[in-house]
Amino acid sequence: MMELVLHLMDIVENATRAGADVVAVSLAIDTAADTLSMDILDNGCGMDAQLADRALDPFGTTKSGKRTGLGLPLLKEAAECTGGAFEVQSVPDEGTQVSAVFGLSHLDRQPVGDLVETVAVLLVSHPKTEFVLEVEKDGESFGWQSLEIVDRFGLRSRRTDSAVLAWVRASLAPLRALLPVVEL
């Protein structure tokens, strides 16, 4: 995976497959500490310790018909190769938290990617999942919740409606200042 948002999409896919109907994503950039942290918390079915260990094995998967599960192992490697850290915490029947810390200025750190378009894709792909997004960069923060769509457009609105997607992109536009799509 070439961008961190692709890891995010993979984790959200796993969370929704595990029954999550709420996914909270937090990104924090601290240039003084030279870190970029990404946390994804879901309220899915969770995992026991044995299954959580298996999720980090590239040759283990819970998906029928697949022999490998590379998502979490690739994210772990991406974080650790920048001098960062990785952790999965999960409680059966409560949910899972995936946390990755990257060396911000490390040469091997993957770019964040286009978070605005990624959120738009996730909203369309998972219409029954509520998303909470918190982004912080050096003390400047931005928060967003997909429940705002209901407040603005009503319960019967579809996330695929062009007006809804245009509003989502516009409401997330401040992220582009915090997390430019192209990082230098």
Which pLDDT score, from 0 to 100, does residue 67 have? 46
Q: DSSP assignment of 51-104, as one string?
A: HHHHHT-TT--SSTT-S---HHHHHHHHHHTTT-EEEEEEETTTEEEEEEEEET
Give pLDDT, residue 157: 74
What value does the mean pLDDT take over residues 46-64? 74
Residue 94 lies in a domain: yes
Distance (Å, whole) CA 149 – CA 153: 6
pLDDT over 90 percentage in the chain: 72
Residue 182 lies in a domain: no
Q: What is the CATH number of the domain that holds 17?
A: 3.30.565.10
Task: Report if residue 184 sits inside a domain.
Answer: no
Share of the chain above pLDDT 70, in %: 90
pLDDT confidence tier of residue 55, bands split at 50, 70 and 90? confident
At residue 177, the pLDDT reads 85
For residue 78, give its domain range. Answer: 4-177
DSSP 3-state of 163: helix
Following DSSP, what letter does each residue of 109-169 receive, concatenated?
A: PPP---HHHHHHHHHHH-TT-EEEEEEEETTEEEEEETHHHHHHH-TT--TTSHHHHHHHH
Question: Model's pTM, two decimal places?
Answer: 0.89
Does some domain include residue 63? yes
Distance, CA of 62 to CA of 183 (rounded, Å): 35
Dihedral sign (CA 12, 13, 14, 18)? positive
Residue 143 belongs to some domain of the structure: yes
Q: Using one digit for the tens of pLDDT, what is the confidence trace for 121-166?
A: 999 999 889 999 999 999 999 999 999 998 888 877 788 889 999 9
1-15, 36-50, 108-122, 167-181: which has the minimum mean pLDDT?
167-181
The count of structural domains within the chain is 1
Confirm whether 90 is domain-assigned. yes
Q: Is residue 165 part of a domain?
A: yes
| E strand or H helix that includes residue 16 | helix 4-17
CA distance 44 to 24: 12
Residue 66 exposed, middle or buried by CB count within 10 Å (0-12, 13-18, 19+): exposed
Note whether 141 and 109 are within 8 A (CB).
no
- Is residue 61 predicted with pLDDT exceeding 80? no
